[in-house]
Structure 1
Amino acid sequence: MTAILDIELVRTFHAVARIGKFSAAAEQLHKSPAAVSVHIQRLEAVAGGRLLNRDNQSVSLTALGKRLLLSTTELLSTHDRVLADLHGNHLAGRITLGVPDEYAAHVIRDILPTFAAAWPNVVLELKTAPSDSLRDQVQRGKLQAAVIAQARGQLTMQAQFLVATTPIWVGPANKSLASMDPLPLAVHAAQCPYRQAMVASLKQSGRRWRVVLDSPSNQAVSACVEAGLAISLIDRARVTESMQILVGLPVIPEHEVVFVRSPSSDGDEAVDLLSQAMQQHFRL
């Protein structure tokens, strides 16, 4: 009998792979952890092998899992576009969306084109700014929605969890800067939670620092680190070959990326659909 790839199983697998935890994926999918486990087991039976390495804290992809994730990404996008076409292009509207600089390229390149193709009559207007600034603009109704980073568990109105992220200290790959006094820092914009976490942790530990670069640009911060001028705090997933992870510095608590929306967007079908697209396709 020919095996059939169930789209619901694939969607569950993508959620677990993106979020990295069964419990958080189950919460996002509105399923029980047991149901998510069953979905993965059924998909592994079809795939012919283990897709995930699991421990008590998190999950990681096996070689087979990486292949399946890569080969089914476009499948999910195509499936959603077909459904949108079947339901017609009647939906129209305008969404003002905020995205931090560090996630802007991913959202613009990997998520919004599919959304725009499915809903061509929905006008998108984008703004990049630090997370705290975007949250404030959503709260004041200046933006309808935003993707923001925040400390894990921070209460935010109308927030939809997208993915957990672990901020880590990084320095240049071929140069040791972590023992310098004061520490040379490349810091993010004032309203970025990573800048706040950096400063608070160094103050608490009694370490001195000096600012080499103060920039709202994630690319500028990364370039400063890679050039050997400073150390900084970035998502673990964004460490490059020209960087090294630093030890001996204050441990930064886990953060999360969430999709927030203004109270005025309640019941807005276009924002609802954008929220779904972010949940399904956002990854670090």
Structure 2
Amino acid sequence: MEASLRQLAAYVAVAKAASFTAAAAQLHVSQSTLSRAVADLERVLGVRLLARDTRNVQLTAAGQETLRVAEQIVGAHRSGMKELQRYLLGESGMVAVATLPSVAAVLLPRMISAFRGQRPLVTVRIMDGLERAVLGKVLSGDADFAITTVGAPSDRLEHRPLIRDRFHAVLPEGHSLADCDEVAWEDLAAEPFLAVGPQSSVRRLTDAAFAQAGAEVTLAAEASNVATVGGLVAAGLGVSAMPALVLPLLGPGHILHRPLVGPVVERRLDVVVRARRTLPVAAAAFLDLLEESRTRALDVPVGASWVD
């Protein structure tokens, strides 16, 4: 049976109104158009749906059952179209963000709260991981965009500068360098150093900073999780270096941090999207919120600043 949605909707209107005249006025169509649609439906189904006389429209037994099913179909269609409209307007759906753990935990929560206040039916999915994995999520299409460090150039990705955060020395309480307002990379290198794993963008930047300072580092320990590094520092096993947005992730413990100099090193974080791709409306709205935060220079943790 190939009944059309138009035929079913026409039949529901007539059956509910018990009148072709009233149903035609409700649907803003001519009575003859409505009569033809119902007659076509009866032909398709091969049954009589309505018993008509000059004044009344009554449903047959087949007409009662057809009304029940037709209402379900027409209702589901209307509901689905409303849902689709909300998605196309960016009022529902999902925004998938791939980012570094520090951005996910420190920068994004307030942004997501503001965004959800504007679009409560939109879910935000955060995929946090290391730099390479984050960029891979964008390239594969799993993420709408990423917020991450500036990696190797790629003609498949577009970068939009967002925020930067400065590297700090991470010291156990009572350490001799804690008396300084600032700590030189060369002085930090003279201490047992606690590093994050080589796959981390933080490790790439700290290695480059020590090289620029002409300092050789003695690794005391290495861990993939920054909270683990924080625990090792708090235990007095050595020192470390972390950008400002990472500092809140170091965990509880007796830890101090001081800005690093000689050189001053900042980590730049960009919004990264796939080149030549049109974002869904909700994802584009989230990026608009990030851009508004940047241009209005909303408060960020000490040691971080929006890129001009």
The answer to whether the aligner puts 1:242 opposite 2:242 as a matched pair is: no
Structure 1 segment 262-273 matched on structure 2, within 5 A: 262-263=274-275, 265-273=277-285
Show the counterpart of 2:195: 187
Per-residue CA deviation, residues 148-168 of structure 1 (Å, 9 max, x unaligned), is 1237xx756322222122223
- CA-CA distance at 1:252 after TM superposition: 5.3
- CA-CA distance at 1:180 after TM superposition: 8.3
SS in 2 for 1:142: coil
* Structure 2 length-normalised TM: 0.52
Which amino acid in 1 is paired with 2:163? V
**Does structure 1 conserve the Cα–Cα contact (< 8 Å) formed by 2:167 and 2:259?**
no
- CA-CA distance at 1:113 after TM superposition: 2.2
**Relative to structure 1, is the Cα distance of residues 208 and 164 closer, same or farther in structure 2, using a 3 angstrom cutoff?**
closer
CA–CA distance in structure 2, aligned partners of residues 135 and 173 of structure 1: 37
**Relative to structure 1, is the Cα distance of residues 250 and 231 closer, same or farther in structure 2, using a 3 angstrom cutoff?**
farther
The answer to whether the aligner puts 1:226 opposite 2:250 as a matched pair is: no
CA–CA distance in structure 2, aligned partners of residues 257 and 209 of structure 1: 28
**Relative to structure 1, is the Cα distance of residues 251 and 122 closer, same or farther in structure 2, using a 3 angstrom cutoff?**
same
SS in 2 for 1:158: strand
CA–CA distance in structure 1, aligned partners of residues 271 and 102 of structure 2: 15
SS in 1 for 2:102: helix
- CA-CA distance at 1:195 after TM superposition: 0.3
**Aligned CA-pair RMSD:** 3.4
Show the counterpart of 2:126: 126
After superposing the two structures, state which structure 1 stretch, 105-114 or 267-276, moved more.
Answer: 105-114
**Does structure 2 conserve the Cα–Cα contact (< 8 Å) formed by 1:225 and 1:232?**
yes
SS in 2 for 1:135: helix
Per-residue CA deviation, residues 167-190 of structure 1 (Å, 9 max, x unaligned), is 233322312478688743332343
**Does structure 2 conserve the Cα–Cα contact (< 8 Å) formed by 1:167 and 1:253?**
yes
SS in 1 for 2:233: helix
Which amino acid in 2 is paired with 1:279? E
CA–CA distance in structure 2, aligned partners of residues 147 and 181 of structure 1: 30
After superposing the two structures, state which structure 1 stretch, 110-119 or 202-211, moved more.
Answer: 202-211
- CA-CA distance at 1:110 after TM superposition: 0.9
Show the counterpart of 1:105: 105
SS in 1 for 2:192: strand
Structure 1 segment 115-194 matched on structure 2, within 5 A: 115-150=115-150, 155=153, 157-176=157-176, 183-194=191-202
- CA-CA distance at 1:258 after TM superposition: 1.5
- CA-CA distance at 1:121 after TM superposition: 3.2
**Relative to structure 1, is the Cα distance of residues 166 and 150 closer, same or farther in structure 2, using a 3 angstrom cutoff?**
farther
Larger radius of gyration: 2
**Does structure 2 conserve the Cα–Cα contact (< 8 Å) formed by 1:170 and 1:246?**
no
CA–CA distance in structure 2, aligned partners of residues 237 and 108 of structure 1: 11
Which amino acid in 2 is paired with 1:225? V
Structure 1: gaps (5+ residues): 1-87
Which amino acid in 1 is paired with 2:102? E
Structure 2: gaps (5+ residues): 1-85, 178-185, 249-253, 295-299, 302-308
Show the counterpart of 2:29: none
CA–CA distance in structure 1, aligned partners of residues 129 and 245 of structure 2: 21
CA–CA distance in structure 2, aligned partners of residues 109 and 99 of structure 1: 12
**Relative to structure 1, is the Cα distance of residues 106 and 280 closer, same or farther in structure 2, using a 3 angstrom cutoff?**
farther
- What percentage of residue pairs aligned between the two structures are identical? 15
**Relative to structure 1, is the Cα distance of residues 265 and 173 closer, same or farther in structure 2, using a 3 angstrom cutoff?**
farther
CA–CA distance in structure 1, aligned partners of residues 188 and 280 of structure 2: 52
The answer to whether the aligner puts 1:256 opposite 2:265 as a matched pair is: no
Which amino acid in 1 is paired with 2:256? M
The answer to whether the aligner puts 1:212 opposite 2:224 as a matched pair is: no
CA–CA distance in structure 2, aligned partners of residues 272 and 117 of structure 1: 16
* Structure 1 length-normalised TM: 0.56
Which amino acid in 2 is paired with 1:253? V
The answer to whether the aligner puts 1:196 opposite 2:210 as a matched pair is: no
CA–CA distance in structure 2, aligned partners of residues 238 and 125 of structure 1: 21
